[in-house]
Amino acid sequence: MNNIDINYIKQTINKKYGLSFSEEKDDFLRNSIKKFFHGSGFNDVNKYVDYSILLNDDQKIIDKLTTNFTLFYREEHHFIYLINALKRVKEKIKIWSAGCSTGEEVYSIAISIHDLCRVNNIKYKILGSDINCRVVNLAKKNQYTYDDIKNIYKKYNKFIIKNQDNFSFSEEITKNIDFKIINLKYGWNFNHKVDVIFCRNVSIYFDVISREELWQRMSQTLLLGGELYIGHSERIHNPEQYGLKMFGINAYRKIT
């Protein structure tokens, strides 16, 4: 096998997806590329990479490179902020979970607000998105083990259906949820603004410029007064330049 031009691959991934990888990831990248190269029918690994990128078949590589650790009710303070935001809504609320992984965040949002929305006659829609095809398909599948849901089962079991080998959320919850594959590097084609965005532990994979562009587009996607929640290891420096103001733990409100 010819040598892999790892810098070219890193630059190409960065340009297309905004993802940035340090030198410590070089061996991991090489091994991932080699794994997919075998059996591809190519005799030149760099031509294989070019071909994959040209046909958007590099998704297999992206799926391998993006980690997807998630939990139900991870960083629970954000769900408290969400409930408070909901109290200011009169008729409907639109929520986006950007980087939703296998769906735990999306379903946590839904079961948090469902009863309050029903009592106050508020309609809600939740979009879950991720760049990773595999995890989006798992989120759509809506199947979890008891270990996955044990911390929420007692409180929210009325929304959970026990199947033979797994647990799933009821149609009452899922009817208000959609999942899509979205590349956050190049924006998104929303025809509406949203009230709340969860974008947690996503920007840590971005380079500085892509991160700044992300916050700008997130702000533009929010309604005035809307809220953005980010991960515990993330910060938006000088949020006012994006029309945002910090109001809680890694939480920002759209002010202009």
pLDDT for residue 54 = 46
Return the domain boundaries, the chain.
6-65, 77-254
Is 60 exceeded by the pLDDT of residue 175? Answer: yes
pLDDT digits (tens, 9 = 90+) for 72-118: 999 999 999 999 999 999 899 999 999 999 999 999 999 999 999 99
pLDDT digits (tens, 9 = 90+) for 134-167: 899 999 999 999 999 999 999 999 999 999 889 9
pLDDT for residue 251 = 98
pLDDT for residue 39 = 62
pTM metric for this prediction = 0.83
Q: How far apart are CA 120 and CA 126, in angstroms?
A: 18
> What is the length of the chain?
256
Is 90 exceeded by the pLDDT of residue 255? Answer: yes
CATH superfamily of 77-254: Vaccinia Virus protein VP39 (3.40.50.150)
User: Which carries the bigger pLDDT value, residue 86 or residue 16?
Assistant: 86
pLDDT for residue 185 = 85
